[in-house]
């Protein structure tokens, strides 16, 4: 079977900084070795027509032209809702699209929401929509008036050869050798992995950390991930300086997956107060690595975490602080959460997801 995989500009070109969207596509390709994927990428052209006009020409003229001239009669799989505008311009009878979330309808300016709604409504033209969670499926049905029968839920998985529990002393030794962290750091680490987009609500983590530090002192906050929002980064740095936490906080924009697993294993608690997630890969990675999770009780996070973590209102700063302290100070609770998290993570398997995706491919192909 041959599939034209339409990735737009979502495939990393520098070999690092793999986005969640590309990670999902990459893992599914890796687990579908019997499928011949033809990757069709597109980097927008600098047309010197101004940002707005250049973007519109790239989206609605240049990119569709590339897809039309490159794709054959094969089934087409568009890997993200961000590329749904293509469905306004191409033959959709043999097209599948993956929708990870509808965040642009919730957390952007009115202009961007209107534009996103126009793009997203094109998904109804696809032969099938793949949703990353039951929550996202319901979002599509309710917001875009697309029938549920057109949507297949296929969960993301976890690479257990990459994310797994290790002895903390082994993790520290390897991190010290690569010069990232000093094993002289004996404080308990609160970890957050992700961007600083406003919906990620990272300032709640920082405010909760301040409360925890004032009560326990021997704690350290480590944030992994590029900003994606310079305003939030400025707010973070301002608060860190204002609260005299500079020696208690470290921000690292990027680490390789091998290093990320080590960091999960030296940390004491994973904090993720996001307001909106279509799935939430970092919480799955944390659970698979044996790290207790405290997260929001919103969107798809309860679906992914189940009863394995603490789920709270994303703006309950005191609740997050109390939960963190409970995990740090109650070894029995911590161990229970570690084991529940590992068990919960086993429910998400790339092999199972790949088999479901292959079945969807075959169903669409049978009707072409």
Provide DSSP, 194-219. S---GGG-HHHHHHHHHHHHHHH--E
Range of the domain at 286: 168-345
Q: How high does pLDDT run on average in the chain?
A: 90
Residue 163 lies in a domain: no
Same domain assignment for residues 339 and 194: yes
Same domain assignment for residues 15 and 143: yes
- Residue labelled with tokens 């004996």: 186
pLDDT tens-digit readout, 217-242: 899 999 999 888 889 999 999 999 99
Q: Any bridge partners for residue 192, and if so which?
A: 223
| Model confidence band, residue 181 (pLDDT cutoffs 50, 70, 90) | low
pLDDT tens-digit readout, 98-134: 999 999 887 677 878 888 898 999 999 999 999 999 9
Has residue 313 got a pLDDT over 70? yes
Same domain assignment for residues 332 and 359: no
Same domain assignment for residues 236 and 110: no
Same domain assignment for residues 102 and 183: no
- Alpha helices (runs of H) in 289-330, residue ranges in sequence order: 301-305, 317-329
pLDDT tens-digit readout, 32-91: 988 999 888 888 777 777 777 888 888 888 888 888 888 878 899 999 999 999 998 888
Same domain assignment for residues 98 and 11: yes
The average pLDDT across 176-194 equals 75
User: How many domains in the chain?
Assistant: 2
Task: Assign 47 to helix, strand or coil.
Answer: coil
The secondary structure of 66-130 as a DSSP string is HHHHH--SSEEEE--GGGGGGGGTS--TTEEEEE---GGGTSS-HHHHHHHHHHHHGGGGSSEEE
Q: Which residue has the higher pLDDT, 176 or 284?
A: 284
CA neighbor of 223 nearest in space, from 197, 263, 192, 190: 192
The average pLDDT across 319-324 equals 97
Task: Look up the pTM and report it.
Answer: 0.91
The domain that contains 29 carries what CATH number? 3.40.50.2000
């Amino acid at each position: 079977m041959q599939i034209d995989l339409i990735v737009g500009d979502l495939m990393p070109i520098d070999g690092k900084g793999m986005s969640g969207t590309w990670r999902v596509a990459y893992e599914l390709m890796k687990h579908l070795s019997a499928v011949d994927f033809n990757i069709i990428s597109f980097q927008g052209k600098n047309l010197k027509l101004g940002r707005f006009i250049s973007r519109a020409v790239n989206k609605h003229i240049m990119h569709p032209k590339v897809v039309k001239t490159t794709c054959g009669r094969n089934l087409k799989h568009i890997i993200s809702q961000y590329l749904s505008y293509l469905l306004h311009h191409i033959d959709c009878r043999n097209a599948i699209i993956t929708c990870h979330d509808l965040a642009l309808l919730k957390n952007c300016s009115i202009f961007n929401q209107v534009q996103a709604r126009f793009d997203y409504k094109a998904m109804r033209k696809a032969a099938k929509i793949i949703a990353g969670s039951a929550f996202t499926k319901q979002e599509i049905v309710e917001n875009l008036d697309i029938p549920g029968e057109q949507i297949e839920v296929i969960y993301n998985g976890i690479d257990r050869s990459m994310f797994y529990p290790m002895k903390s002393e082994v993790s520290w030794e390897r991190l010290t050798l690569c010069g990232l962290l000093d094993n002289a750091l004996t404080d308990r680490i609160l970890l957050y992995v992700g961007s600083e987009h406003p919906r990620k609500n990272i300032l709640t983590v920082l405010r909760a950390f301040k409360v925890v530090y004032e009560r326990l002192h021997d704690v350290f906050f480590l944030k992994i991930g590029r900003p994606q929002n310079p305003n939030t980064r400025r707010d973070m740095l301002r608060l860190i300086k204002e609260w005299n936490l500079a020696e208690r906080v470290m921000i690292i924009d990027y680490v390789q997956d091998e290093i990320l697993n080590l960091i999960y294993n030296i940390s004491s608690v994973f904090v993720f107060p996001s307001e909106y997630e279509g799935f939430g890969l970092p919480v799955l990675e944390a659970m698979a690595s044996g790290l207790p999770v405290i997260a929001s009780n919103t969107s798809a996070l309860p679906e992914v975490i189940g009863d394995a973590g603490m789920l709270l209102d994303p703006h309950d700063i005191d609740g997050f602080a109390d939960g963190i302290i409970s995990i740090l100070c109650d070894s029995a609770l911590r161990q229970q959460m570690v084991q529940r998290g590992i068990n919960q993570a086993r429910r998400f398997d790339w092999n199972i997801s790949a088999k479901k995706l292959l079945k969807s491919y075959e169903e669409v192909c049978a009707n072409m």
